[in-house]
Structure 1
Amino acid sequence: MTEADDKIPDPNSGRTIAILTEMLELGDETLEAHREVGRMAGQYGIDMLVGVGGDLIKQTALYAGAAGVPDIVLVADNDTAAAYLDSILRPGDKVIVKASRSGQLWQVAQRLTGQPVTGF
């Protein structure tokens, strides 16, 4: 193994971080859907959940914590989420970005990958 090999992150190491926002297009199923996503985060072994938004994402966070997600962070907007992630990401971390279109989380992914941030 060379010195350069030591610097390559192991794809099996690092944390799995999910950044999620509110799903606003679900109608009567909205509340339960947010809770179910929280439960699923625990079932799938998410190490950290970064929730963007208000009351609905708080439901996701509460259920994620109850399902075993060890680290949960709530932020108000995409700019704050991107800045937070930029400050805590380590080599080997994996980030899952999932939202409805209205959440515009592609902006966070764009910022983290150095792309110009776009709107709708």
Structure 2
Amino acid sequence: MTSPRLIAVLGEMRELGDQAVDGHRKVGREAAEQGIDVVVAVGGALAKQLALAAGDAGVPKVAICPDNPTATAFVMSILRPGDRVLVKGANSDMRWQIAQGLAGQEITGHQH
């Protein structure tokens, strides 16, 4: 039996302005320091920076997904019993849809 994993599904933080790239890289490094096993970065260029930093810092599995439905499908495809999933992102990007999909709930808000 494999050990449960910590999976972090992280969206972009557009409110960082000029600090956006460095801020996303810092979050990626912090994920590694916190022992996250899987980072799923959701979005575009800033999500890519987060994912690359996470992988460089030692997160064992990293994925980049362009949108909520893709991220939900990816996490569902790798989810194992006992895994814990954190979903964090801006309300404007409706990342709660990922949590709803993983919990088998009706998806609220418009779909991206």
TM-score when normalising by structure 2: 0.90
Per the alignment, residue 63 of structure 1 pairs with 53
Query: Structure 1 segments of 4 or more deviating over 6 A?
Result: none
TM-score when normalising by structure 1: 0.85
Residue 89 in structure 1 maps to residue 69 in structure 2: no
Per the alignment, residue 79 of structure 1 pairs with 69
Residue 117 in structure 1 maps to residue 74 in structure 2: no
Q: Deviations over 1:55-102 (max 9, x none)?
A: 101110111011110100111110011111112111110001111222
How many corresponding residue pairs? Answer: 108
Alignment of 1:1-120 (within 5 A): 13-119=3-109
State the Cα RMSD in Å: 1.2
How far apart in 1 are the matches of 2:93 and 2:24? 14
Gapped runs of 5+ residues in structure 2? Answer: none
Gapped runs of 5+ residues in structure 1? Answer: 1-12
